[in-house]
Amino acid sequence: MNTKIFYFLRPTLIGVLILISLSGCTVYSVLPTTLGEVKHYVLGQEQSFSYSLEQVITATVIDLDRLGFTIHRIEHFNQKGMIQAGFGSTSIDLFVETITPGLTKTTCKVLRHKGLRDYASEQELFHRVRETLKQRPNKSWKQLTKQMVSIHQSPDEASSVIGYIGEGGKAKLAQEEGAWGKIVLMDNHFGYVPMDRLKPVKLFKQKTAAAQLLDDPF
């Protein structure tokens, strides 16, 4: 099976965006020294929220949008979910998992230039999400994802939506099925997006770091 990497296309959006950094001060990364710090460094910092998985994802997307981040990818199925976002040289990977219907475990990694972890920004994001959850935001998924491409559970517009791909998002294409592309999701699951919303990415002999990660993204 040939592997192809695709960018996602979205309608042109014209406007002015004020970009705000996640942390208002300079943060210096340090190497982990204890077993707990090593775990956080490798897996990301963890927090649990006494809210449903969908509420946590919604609050996180709202806060990242407020901070000027571009949401590259959202997935939400099988009691798990993920969010990938970027702002300049900063990237965020956030994974959520349902522990009980009202308790959600969240793991977050904020990476700055050259892959350095930013612990302070991870803690700040958790704090913002917790405060937003207390306010019980009423924004709908339709509002939050209006500029994103829907990922369907099957190659049918009427099938359930299990995720979204935004500007700058990439995905590994498993195969084409008519007008649909079958893409690889978290935990080696699959979803479908219209092929006319995909743009192939050229892979050279010397692969870029992004292409190498996409060969085995999860």
How are beta strands 4-8 and 170-177 bridged, if at all?
A: antiparallel
**Is the distance from CB of 87 to CB of 70 less than 8 angstroms?**
yes
Look at residue 203 in the predicted model and tell me its pLDDT.
Answer: 52
Look at residue 22 in the predicted model and tell me its pLDDT.
Answer: 43
- In DSSP terms, 83 is beta-bridged to 74, 94
Edge-to-edge order in the sheet of strand 180-184: 45-49, 103-111, 90-100, 80-87, 70-77, 161-165, 149-152, 190-194, 180-184, 170-177, 4-8, 198-201
Low-confidence ranges of the chain (pLDDT < 50): 10-32, 42, 204-218
| Stated pTM of the model | 0.74
Look at residue 123 in the predicted model and tell me its pLDDT.
Answer: 87
**Is the distance from CB of 20 to CB of 64 less than 8 angstroms?**
no
**Is the distance from CB of 49 to CB of 129 less than 8 angstroms?**
yes
Compute the distance between CA of residue 54 and CA of residue 6 in angstroms, rounded to an integer.
Answer: 27
Look at residue 25 in the predicted model and tell me its pLDDT.
Answer: 35
Q: Indicate the SS3 state at residue 50.
A: coil
**Is the distance from CB of 23 to CB of 124 less than 8 angstroms?**
yes
Compute the distance between CA of residue 57 and CA of residue 59 in angstroms, rounded to an integer.
Answer: 6
**Is the distance from CB of 151 to CB of 163 less than 8 angstroms?**
yes
Residues 6+ positions from 89 with CB-CB distance below 8 Å: 112, 113
- Give the pair of three-digit tokens for residue 153: 């559970």
Place of tokens 């994103």: 148
CA dihedral 177, 79, 218, 45 (to 10 degrees): 150
CATH number of 43-142: 3.30.160.110
Look at residue 170 in the predicted model and tell me its pLDDT.
Answer: 83
Residues 6+ positions from 49 with CB-CB distance below 8 Å: 55, 56, 103, 104, 106, 129, 130, 133
Look at residue 83 in the predicted model and tell me its pLDDT.
Answer: 96
| For the chain, domain boundaries | 43-142, 150-215
Was domain 150-215 assigned CATH 3.30.70? no
